[in-house]
Chains A and B, each alone.
Chain A
């Protein structure tokens, strides 16, 4: 199923960070995060009248109906779900050497995973500090976001190193950013 292509391994790397075995697990994790977020979002929209929380009693309810949650134009869990959709889509688009054929997509993926993880942690902190309650599913979602950060960052690093080589070779970085084929053939 997974075709091994040693040529796709970036210079001075031991593996290809854009290989499917690197990207599929992240898409699966993000999909789980998406389902959790949608479930909480549907509760916030009033589709469900109760919400599941095995550890903190009505903690989830308090967090999801807090003033912070209501500060957003749409339920904040739905915004999280949207973030996970971005993770899945930007994680799956592109071939197995997209670190050089589609640097822009890798960077979009990095932006989707990095800041989403940061927002998750911010929300974890706000739960006890502002709302005064914990929420099991929110914590689970945050954990998923944090676990995704490093495995996504390696691909970002490979793309940035490629753009660094492009710059040093005197080629236009902007064109390489969008996957210019002539540059791909010239630069490793």
Chain B
């Protein structure tokens, strides 16, 4: 839960950072595209039934991690800010929490031979 909430805050920060630190348009686009995606999947993963949705934020975080070097982000602030946010997003996306409900075995049950809802 706290990990998802932290990712929501980081995602929001990523969305507003270009305006606060006056990044140029090309760099700002990366921030403006990844930010809303991170916020979305973090919110979706707040509910136990979709806790796994947090993994969708791993590629989003990875993008922030590598984009500064692929696209030569300037100034340096834009680079390290993306790298730090990307790293945090990835780490927090892996954070597990205790699931109390059963949900008939969850989404994976649909692909299982002996799903929980059939036992």
Contacts and interface: CB of A to CB of B under 8 A. Distances in A.
Interface stretch (A23-31, A76-84, A88-96, A148-156): A148-156
Nearest to B42: A146
A149 B43 CA distance: 9
A75 B39 CA distance: 27
Contact of B50 (A13, A14, A153): A153
Interface string A59-75: 00000000000000000
A45 interface: no
Contact of A150 (B15, B39, B46, B101): B46
B40 A146 contact: yes
A128 B102 contact: no
B103 A157 contact: yes
Size class of the A contact interface (CB-based, 8 Å)? 20 to 34
A148 to B, nearest CB: 10
A168 B39 CA distance: 38
Given A129-B29, A157-B107, A147 B36 contact: no
Q: Which of B32, B33, B50 has the most chain A CB atoms inside 10 A of its CB? A: B32
Contacts of B115: 161, 164
Contacts of A117: 40
A144 to B, nearest CB: 11
Nearest to B28: A128
Nearest to A147: B43
A1 interface: no
Contacts of A150: 43-47, 49-50, 53
B49 A153 contact: yes
Nearest to A13: B104
Given A12-B116, A124-B36, A128-B28, A154 B103 contact: yes
A119 to B, nearest CB: 12
A121 interface: yes
Contact of B47 (A12, A121, A151): A151
A151 B46 CA distance: 10
A158 interface: yes
